[in-house]
A = this chain, B = another copy of it.
Amino acid sequence: MGEGIRVLILGTGQMGAGIARLVLEKPGLALAGALGRRAGRAGMDVGRAIGLDRDLGIALEADLAAALGRARPDVAIQATCSKLEDAWPEISTLLRHGVPTISIAEEMAYPAYSSPAIAGEMHELARSKGVAVLGTGINPGFILDLLVIALTGVCARIDSITATRVNDLSSYGPSVLEAQGVGLAPEAFAAGVKSGTVAGHFGFPQSIHMIAAALGLNIDRIEEERQPIVSRVRRETPFVSVAAGAVAGCAHTAVAYDGKNPVITLVHPQQIRPELEGVATGDTIEIAGAPNIRLAGSPEIPGGIGTIAVAVNMIPRVLNAAPGLHTMADLPVPAAMMGDARRFVRARAEGCAHG
């Protein structure tokens, strides 16, 4: 790690490109390479691929095995997909090559929910190769789970938890807006919820099971509801125009029950231009128990830069971690990495003793 911790980035979309740019900014990190699968981009300079106006002298890779050979990474960050089954082939390749891995795939925040089998295989592979693997991101991964867990830490008893994140989709492009049903008529929204094209937020079960596992709560079932946010006014962004009476977003909630008791409620309405109807964005965590706790912030902690930052800030945590699969609740809290990144990494021998 003489010239810095060598980081390989998988994915050059908005998140992957942002992570790569932050890696370039951080002292002690070195951008070892980037993988981009969009057709016709292989071979272009990574600098251009991640939105810089300069060349970095590194060619964008299309094949992971080849990229690993050239990049010789100390750690990889995966920003290519959302689902565990899509993430797993790349992660297994990385782990087989002995590369500690951070993924921002939503289902990787708590992979045992989507597939205990894959999660188990991932854990064993990582252990056998002596490296750690982690799923992270702002949500799931931080606001509606890790931060909730941390706040329960000063409670003697928990009766129920409600966490709410009201955000603004105005800066997002067509694929995100479609998944939230933005621009649809209410009837089309309802049909989209039924068919699955209106998905709402991706990550509620992961957040709920991360909290439940950390607190020892029993969850019998999760009920999710997706309601249209029907706009009373015209709302416009560069990507979409929503007339009054059409859908400006998706009010998605998940309630986790222990028997008849709703123990965890997560609320995440996402819409464009919320301010046009006086809706304030923000994050709120409310814990009913001993003591009651309520913590809130407005506007919401921004999702894009937040995910980019936490993925990079977790690099030393993953390099220091014991081999195996981890969640954010298993590792020390993330911290902004303000000094040389190498100073946050323990020597291997000490890492073993300190765990």
Interface residues of A (CB under 8 A from B): 22, 25, 127, 138, 142, 146-147, 149-158, 214-217, 283, 289-291, 293-298, 301-302, 305-310, 312-314, 321-324, 329-340, 343-344, 351-355
How close is A77's CB to chain B, nearest CB, in angstroms? 14
Q: Which of B154, B305, B329 contacts A332 (CB 8 A)?
A: B329
B156 adjacent to A142 (CB under 8 Å): no
Bound: A296/B308 CA distance, A: 24
With A150-B150, A322-B355, A354-B322 given, is the CB distance from A336 to B295 under 8 Å?
Answer: no
With A215-B338, A337-B216 given, is the CB distance from A156 to B305 under 8 Å?
Answer: yes
Residues in B with CB closer than 8 Å to A334 are 150, 152-154
B335 adjacent to A152 (CB under 8 Å): yes
A216 adjacent to B309 (CB under 8 Å): no
Nearest 9 CB-CB pairings of A with B: A153-B334, A355-B355, A216-B339, A322-B355, A152-B336, A154-B306, A295-B297, A214-B335, A150-B333
Q: Which of B153, B301, B340, B355 contacts A313 (CB 8 A)?
A: B153
Residues in B with CB closer than 8 Å to A331 are 332
Residues in B with CB closer than 8 Å to A309 are 153-156, 290
Bound: A272/B291 CA distance, A: 20
Using CB atoms, name the residue of chain B closest to A344.
B216
How close is A162's CB to chain B, nearest CB, in angstroms? 14
How close is A276's CB to chain B, nearest CB, in angstroms? 23
List 25 A-B pairs, Cβ < 8 Å. Answer: A127-B353, A146-B333, A147-B151, A149-B333, A149-B335, A150-B334, A152-B336, A153-B314, A153-B335, A156-B305, A156-B308, A157-B336, A158-B338, A215-B336, A215-B339, A217-B338, A290-B305, A293-B301, A295-B297, A321-B355, A323-B353, A324-B354, A329-B333, A333-B333, A354-B355
Residues in B with CB closer than 8 Å to A302 are 291
Using CB atoms, name the residue of chain B closest to A354.
B322
Residues in B with CB closer than 8 Å to A158 are 336, 338
How close is A44's CB to chain B, nearest CB, in angstroms? 25
Residues in B with CB closer than 8 Å to A295 are 283, 295-297
Residues in B with CB closer than 8 Å to A332 are 329-332
How close is A165's CB to chain B, nearest CB, in angstroms? 12
Residues in B with CB closer than 8 Å to A296 are 295-297
Bound: A127/B352 CA distance, A: 12
Residues in B with CB closer than 8 Å to A297 are 293-296
Can you name 18 extra interface pairs (CB under 8 A) apart from A138-B154, A333-B333? A142-B153, A142-B154, A146-B333, A149-B333, A150-B333, A152-B336, A153-B314, A154-B305, A154-B309, A154-B334, A157-B336, A158-B336, A215-B339, A294-B297, A294-B298, A322-B353, A351-B355, A355-B355
Bound: A289/B76 CA distance, A: 26
